[in-house]
Amino acid sequence: MRWYIIRTLLWKEVQRQRANRGGLALACLLIVAALLLNFFSKIGVQATGLSGLNACYIDCWREDAWVQHLRDHVPADLAGKVVFRNISQLGGEGRLVYPPGCGAIQMRLIQGENGRVERRICMWTPAGESLAAFEAWFWRESARFFQQQAAEANKLSLRPLLTSDPNFVFHVEAEHAILEGGVDLRTSITAGLILFALFFSCVYLMPSLMCEERERGLLLAQALSPASPLEILAARLLFYPPVGIALGALLAGIAKPAVLLQPFFWGVLAVAACGSLGIGLVIATLAKTQRSASMAALCYMLVVTLLLFICQQGAIPVLPNLALEYHCPRMLHACLAGIVARPHLFHLAAAAALATLWLVFASALFRKRGWQ
């Protein structure tokens, strides 16, 4: 490949983008949306002090005076955000399910020594959030409750009668854990903005402009010039994916600057951008007009979304793994939430394989009939 030809084609793409005010306006709107999301999220956190949690579930396996004291002493700033549940009265298969953006304080019952039943307090927090406000209230009111019980017991020269069960003791153990895999609203919106930036630059904008060149005869002129099909593809590969990556990184940096220090995040962006470019090249090669290219891009997005939704609702296990859009949202959400684990490496490998297949297929298709 000859660099001076690729450089000329790159400058041509830059000039086309400068003339395309609609694309620049949409990029600015994405940046403004990310800034507003970050600004109002911080305002909400400072005003409420509840981080980003929608609610905190108090799950108990036995109703007693302790639980009743907590019910009666929920402060005004937490009213409506503390939900009590008696697990022994819930149906289901024994699994506890929490809505997105919710934490939990579980007041478990465990079998101790000598047949005694003990309490174990488990704090479950969504990744990237804080349970501090709810936890401070829980321990403050619990300490007040036990102090009142001890005072009454000393006054009557009796042990605290907290329950009618003589084998039940209040030996409290506390542990903290992260609700991995949960989906909170802010992280989901940020991941959606990043994916839309990649989709816009590589799947929508690039095919639209390429079909416009075909309609005006510019694409045929490039094919008749000394530029080879591989050099034409290289120019697009060096322009549109970096633009999408830069815009996606900017959106992610506005929402969570620490994510820019993760090598895994940059790998996800690179794989998603290259895969999106392959999809966009296939659409641009098969579509003949700019209108058909835009419609094909929207139809592709709708078909893939419906396919993934149907597979999720019908518990179809294998088919979603064949879609690039199945792996990328999970990896981006893991990066933004800071919970990258070994399964996400599998998603990255699968997405890289799918992106390679899309690029190889798009290159072969473009060299055969892309200029027509």
DSSP structural state of residue 266: H
pTM (predicted TM-score):
0.66
Nearest to residue 107, comparing CAs of 119, 92, 125?
A: 119
* Distance (Å, whole) CA 254 – CA 64: 47
| Token pair in block for residue 60 | 């108990």
pLDDT digits (tens, 9 = 90+) for 295-348: 888 899 899 989 988 988 887 888 888 888 889 888 988 888 777 777 888 999
Reduce the DSSP state of residue 175 to 3 states and report it. strand
Q: What kind and span of H or E run contains 322? A: none
DSSP structural state of residue 225: S
pLDDT of residue 349: 92
Q: Residue 163 burial (CB < 10 Å; 0-12/13-18/19+)? A: middle
pLDDT digits (tens, 9 = 90+) for 183-219: 566 778 888 889 999 898 888 888 888 888 888 877 7
pLDDT digits (tens, 9 = 90+) for 18-28: 777 777 888 88
pLDDT of residue 250: 92
* 309 vs 175: which has the higher pLDDT: 309
Distance of CA 106 to the CA centre of its chain: 26
DSSP structural state of residue 55: E
Is there a contact between 201 and 247 (Cβ–Cβ < 8 Å)? yes
* Distance (Å, whole) CA 344 – CA 283: 29
Ramachandran angles phi, psi of 318, nearest 5°: -95, -40
Per-residue 3-state assignment (H helix, E strand, C coil) for 271-303 = HHHHHHHHHHHHHHHHCCCHHHHHHHHHHHHHH
* Distance (Å, whole) CA 21 – CA 319: 39
Does the structure show a pLDDT above 90 at 233? no
